[in-house]
Amino acid sequence: MSSLTPPRVLTVAGSDSGGGAGIQADLKTMLALGVHGMSVIAAVTAQNSLGVQGYWELPPEAVRAQLDSVLGDIGAQAIKTGMLASPVLVETVAAALAAYDAPVVVDPVGVSKHGDSLLAPEAVDTLRTRLLPVATVVTPNLWEVEQLTSIKVEDERDLRRAADAVLALGPRWALVKGGHLPGEPVDLLTDGEREHRFRAERLDNRHTHGTGCTLASAIASYLALGQDVPEAVGSAKRYVTGAIGLGFPLGSGIGPVDHAWQWR
């Protein structure tokens, strides 16, 4: 590759027609952080500031063809996964990524910001057994932790127990996001031996659509730029905190975080 070619990051996720989350948020994040973003679209959503009105999965052969096309020619220094919707799509993506040597950041998307389901219930076990074992970092929020492990996190003391349960499913690192706990927001990152806690002020802004997608894509971007996992998570947290602080209204509901806040 030419010295002019930036690091390459691939997102495998769903399309958000409102532009605040999913593939669109991932690519905006990657551009903002100086990497070349590429995409494999696994599903298409009809979505706006009020919620998800519907979604349609792509055929598994279309998802696999996109993966083979990008990874077989361009390659990637890091890969991020988001909405995968169904067991067959989780299986398809997991099989491709297990055979590719690059760090994988898994955002185990279960529901949208508005509470709309984006993962079939029967796909949860496939996510646990097939995708998480190939993950370098998995980034569940508290609802997703409970979905994956049956552990309900009620305060900061529960974070490590939840992270250990996630690690038991196979990823190298677990980042349990505690933003929905009362008090000061704190996320816990661990590989089972080392532990890092990331704190940030709680910002008074309801326009937070796309936060999870943005964080996972930022982690993948910083990994592609050469940072190790704790460093990449810290850098990603700082970027996302700025994006949340400048999230803006859009439509009649919840607006997106501002992916371009560093430019404005």
Task: Give every CB contact of residue 149 below 8 A, 6+ residues apart in sequence.
Answer: 162, 165, 166, 169
- The whole-angstrom separation of Cα 135 and Cα 130 is 10
Instruction: Count Cβ atoms below 10 Å from residue 157 Cβ, excluding itself.
Output: 8
- The whole-angstrom separation of Cα 38 and Cα 28 is 11
What tokens were used for 140? 């569940």
**Cβ contact 76:9 at 8 Å:** yes
- The whole-angstrom separation of Cα 225 and Cα 215 is 15
Beta strands in the chain (DSSP E): 8-16, 36-48, 51-57, 78-81, 104-106, 137-138, 173-177, 186-190, 195-199
Identify the CA nearest to 155 among candidates 131, 185, 190. 185
What tokens were used for 29? 């994040």
Q: How many CA atoms lie within 13 A of 1 on its CB side?
A: 12
CA 225 to the chain's CA centroid: 17
- The whole-angstrom separation of Cα 104 and Cα 10 is 10
Residues serving a catalytic function are: 177, 208, 210-213
- The whole-angstrom separation of Cα 80 and Cα 217 is 6
